[in-house]
Structure 1
Amino acid sequence: MLEKYFQLEAHKTNVKTEVIAGITTFLTMAYILVVNPSILHDAGMNTGAVFTATAIASIIGTLIMALYAKLPIAMAPGMGLNAFFAYTVVVSMGYSWEFALTAVFLEGILFILLTFFNVRELIVDAIPLSQKHAISVGIGLFIAFIGLEDAGIIVHDKATLVTLGNLGSPSALIALFGLFISALLLTLRVKGALLIGIFSSTILAVFMGKAALPDTALIQTPPSLAPTFLKFEWQHIFSTDMLIVLFTFLFVDLFDTIGTLVGVASQAGILDEKGRFPNVKKALMADAFSTTAGAMLGTSTTTAYIESAAGVAEGGRTGLTTLVVAILFILSLFLSPLFLMVPSSATAPVLILVGTFMMEPVTKISFSDYTESIPAFLAIIMMPLTYSIAEGIAFGMISYVLLKALTGRHKEITPVMYILAALFMLKFFV
């Protein structure tokens, strides 16, 4: 049944590989179950309710992606978007978290309409192939940077922005141990190398006192959604601030999602010769519906997760990978003490190694053609340096359009690319 529905043989995979890939993806993104409630708590939201909303929103989006789009890309409330929700809309602008949830809900409705009328799909297909390869590589560097940061191997420095951290610290030692184990097993072609590395470093973290075995009952009833469910605030929906907040949510989510879909699909080898990949409209619809549902439940914008690349690196190629992720999110509702014991230092090595895997598309970029290579390089380098997939895409697209247009190669620019470049320039300079 699984073979027939997901066409495993056609995608050169099998049930075992897909299950391992799903577990790996889940473990690399399960941190959101801890981080998202913590961030939204700073906006005044109930931590327990947000935990449950985060898990259920992830389940809904990931199930749609698994069973409808059949892609190995998991969904969950996005990092960055939750920070904008809490620290910009609520803390800085002074609005209530109900106002912010209303903006997320409206964003989801608009995304459903944009996806239904093929506007988002049109944008994905209009991105040049060199930019799609660059997006994959840039996301790889971004993921690796996040992993190095989570491990404490790279830390903030006032003089140089970043510098080498204390490699003798517990978190760095745990991460380096996991990195060595996973890299060794990958070299030896051992299946499940990344997953084994996570478990190995988690065991080390327990012995070092940086992770604790659950001291409560493993099976617990999920916290109630009542404090956040359908808590919308409609009196400010026609205000200028609502327009600004809504546009920001739309803008960041649109290009983060597109960047993630393109990057992970490129790494999975499911793009065709023109850089398009199957079921993109269904994938975008999964994003739109899960964002809308998440707002109703009580969480910030749900989006495609770049950590899905970890599962793809383990061989995940179909929706069966994400079906496993959804099942694990369901279990996490009742087994949260067990799933949440894995420290970020134990999952950091996976992110670092995934960065390595996502470098491969750089060989497909024509570096002899500067109108292709310079925009590609800017997209790649700006993602980790700005800590934003969307900003990297912006630099790549603007420079691509300018270089092509100013060198007389305007026929290579699609009308959609002109529009996107103009919108990005308005965002930066207006």
Structure 2
Amino acid sequence: MLTKHNSQHSLSKDLLAGLIGYFTTVYIVAVNSQILKDAGLPLENGMVATILASAVGCLIMALYANAPMVLIPGMGVNALFAYSIVEGKGMDFQEGLGVVTIAAVLFLITAFTKLGDWLKHAIPDSLKHAITVGLGMFLTLIGLEKGGLVVRGEHSLITLGNPSSAIVITSLLTLFAAVFLFAKNVPGNFLITMIIGTIIAHFTGLLEGPGKGITLSEQEWVFVPSFSGIGELGFWMAVFPLAIVLIFENMGLIHGQLDMLKQESKYKKSYQASAFSALSCGFFGTSPTVSSAESAAVIASEGKTGRASLLMAVLFLGTIFLTPWISMVPSTAISPILIIVGALMVQNIKEIPLDQLSEAMPAFLIIVMIPFTYSIADGMAFGFIAYPVVKFALGKQRELTTPVVLIAMVFLVELIIRSIGH
């Protein structure tokens, strides 16, 4: 809860930081709803789900952890949900939400037990960073596709889109603007990118009119996750990759943000708040929230307490009234954001010891197989299976941990069963 000691901090600075945090992350309403649309959820429902999940996540962070962090559906996590779980596993949307719920429960268990610390030290850093890099490559590919910059080739899997087409020209102009704004570190650069991209799309004839706004009944924004496949291996092979990504992405983000804030004592409650927020997403109808990287902007703006997050929660709720205009944002205005976020995630490759073959080879397989198989889960499977194999081949089996071997065995069994099934 908000304490008397924290109340001594300037309220105006917290509120300004919260305002900056909102404007740097509100782009997620358009971006996430577009990705959820690919998973079969109507755009209008996706906007409501994203708004509610973000508002509730920020509220939990404010009241439970008193930390100035913004919780929004994670980039990369939403791709995992839409393309690897719902599309990749052939699930319907409600079944996908069942996977989200169970993965969030596992996340919650690690937040309230010593299991989290155990896993943190048991899973090699090279594999954790490789997953982030692979997610970045995957987001970049999705962004290139949405912008028409790459298309299915006649004589190859993919090829360059038609440079003279309106969609490619619009995407490129928006991408140039996005890169310029990002390089100049302009506050709210992603939001400005969407606005510029929408204006460019208007002049190139790609823009549709505004939507009707939110007209959904309660039954359409409260979801009941389906657990019909909980007894099947395929269901759990969707749960494990999502849980792994949630656990380690939040561990890294929250630790780094609190270190920047000089409030490491808030780690436990912030991590738990993130887990509670992720659990709520299964009922709002979206992929799980994470402590966004943009929380750094809130902290850099001298936000120090949960009052910043509380303001962001209120502002996200108010975004519901902007949905007619948000629905206008075309895919050409979304694609540059996906590409830039992908580029940021790929930077983690510098944390991988590429000069050590036993770490580099499994990491490399994760990085390339995630985008090449169009499946985050399958990409992770290749890397985790290769890890003990390479360690044994180089006589470094003593460096293996029990969780890594168990995860590799589960992935291997699932691949064998799948191949037999085909």
**2:136 is aligned with 1:149:** no
Report the residue type matching 1:397 in the other structure: F
**Contact 1:267 / 1:358 at 8 angstroms: preserved in 2?**
no
**Contact 1:131 / 1:376 at 8 angstroms: preserved in 2?**
yes
Percent of matched pairs sharing the same residue: 30
C-alpha separation in 2, matches of 1:57 and 1:192: 21
Q: Residue 370 of structure 1 aligns with which residue?
A: 357
Report the residue type matching 1:177 in the other structure: L
Shift of 1:164: 0.9
**Contact 2:136 / 2:343 at 8 angstroms: preserved in 1?**
yes
The runs of 5 or more residues in structure 1 that have no matched partner are: 92-96, 272-276
C-alpha separation in 1, matches of 2:170 and 2:265: 39
**Contact 1:108 / 1:291 at 8 angstroms: preserved in 2?**
yes
Q: How does 1:233-248 map to 2 (within 5 A)?
A: 242-244=231-233, 246-248=235-237
C-alpha separation in 2, matches of 1:186 and 1:300: 27
Report the residue type matching 1:226 in the other structure: Q
Question: Which one has the bigger helix percentage?
Answer: 2
Q: Residue 250 of structure 1 aligns with which residue?
A: 239
SS at match of 2:218: coil
Report the residue type matching 2:317 in the other structure: I
Structure 1 range deviating more: 159-168 or 390-399: 390-399
Q: Residue 380 of structure 1 aligns with which residue?
A: 367
Change (3 A) 1:252 1:409: closer
C-alpha separation in 2, matches of 1:412 and 1:396: 16
Q: How does 1:27-426 map to 2 (within 5 A)?
A: 27-33=27-33, 36=36, 39-40=39-40, 52-53=48-49, 55-65=51-61, 68=64, 70=67, 71-75=69-73, 78-81=78-81, 84-85=85-86, 108-109=104-105, 112-113=108-109, 115-120=111-116, 122-157=118-153, 159-212=155-208, 214=210, 223-226=216-219, 229=222, 242-244=231-233, 246-258=235-247, 260-261=249-250, 285-286=272-273, 288-290=275-277, 292-296=279-283, 299=285, 302-304=288-290, 308-309=292-293, 311=294, 326-426=313-413
**Contact 1:366 / 1:372 at 8 angstroms: preserved in 2?**
yes
Change (3 A) 1:333 1:100: same
C-alpha separation in 2, matches of 1:152 and 1:278: 46
Change (3 A) 1:159 1:129: same
C-alpha separation in 1, matches of 2:180 and 2:343: 14
Query: How many residues are treated as equivalent by the alignment?
Result: 401
Report the residue type matching 2:389 in the other structure: L
- Per the normalisation by structure 2, the TM-score is 0.74
Q: Residue 94 of structure 1 aligns with which residue?
A: none
Instruction: Spell out, residue by residue over 1:56-99, the C-alpha distance to the aligned partner (whole angstroms, 9 max, x if none).
Output: 234324543566564555237944535655896666xxxxx777
The runs of 5 or more residues in structure 2 that have no matched partner are: 418-422
C-alpha separation in 2, matches of 1:424 and 1:403: 16
**Contact 1:26 / 1:325 at 8 angstroms: preserved in 2?**
no
Report the residue type matching 2:133 in the other structure: V
**Contact 2:251 / 2:271 at 8 angstroms: preserved in 1?**
no
Change (3 A) 1:118 1:222: farther
Report the residue type matching 1:27 in the other structure: Y
**Contact 1:401 / 1:413 at 8 angstroms: preserved in 2?**
yes
Shift of 1:408: 2.3
Change (3 A) 1:411 1:328: farther
**Contact 2:144 / 2:335 at 8 angstroms: preserved in 1?**
yes
SS at match of 1:214: coil
**2:25 is aligned with 1:25:** yes
**Contact 2:29 / 2:51 at 8 angstroms: preserved in 1?**
no
**Contact 2:366 / 2:382 at 8 angstroms: preserved in 1?**
yes
**Contact 2:95 / 2:225 at 8 angstroms: preserved in 1?**
yes
C-alpha separation in 1, matches of 2:100 and 2:406: 24
Report the residue type matching 1:247 in the other structure: W
C-alpha separation in 2, matches of 1:388 and 1:320: 39
SS at match of 2:151: strand
Structure 1 range deviating more: 370-379 or 109-118: 109-118
Shift of 1:27: 0.8
Q: Residue 420 of structure 2 aligns with which residue?
A: none
Report the residue type matching 1:140 in the other structure: G
Report the residue type matching 2:244 in the other structure: F
Change (3 A) 1:282 1:391: farther
C-alpha separation in 2, matches of 1:28 and 1:267: 21
C-alpha separation in 1, matches of 2:413 and 2:161: 38
Shift of 1:39: 4.3
C-alpha separation in 2, matches of 1:47 and 1:393: 29
**Contact 2:71 / 2:289 at 8 angstroms: preserved in 1?**
no
Query: What root-mean-square deviation, in Å, do the aligned CA atoms of Structure 1 and Structure 2 show?
Result: 4.4
SS at match of 1:163: strand
Shift of 1:192: 4.1
- Per the normalisation by structure 1, the TM-score is 0.73
Change (3 A) 1:429 1:382: same
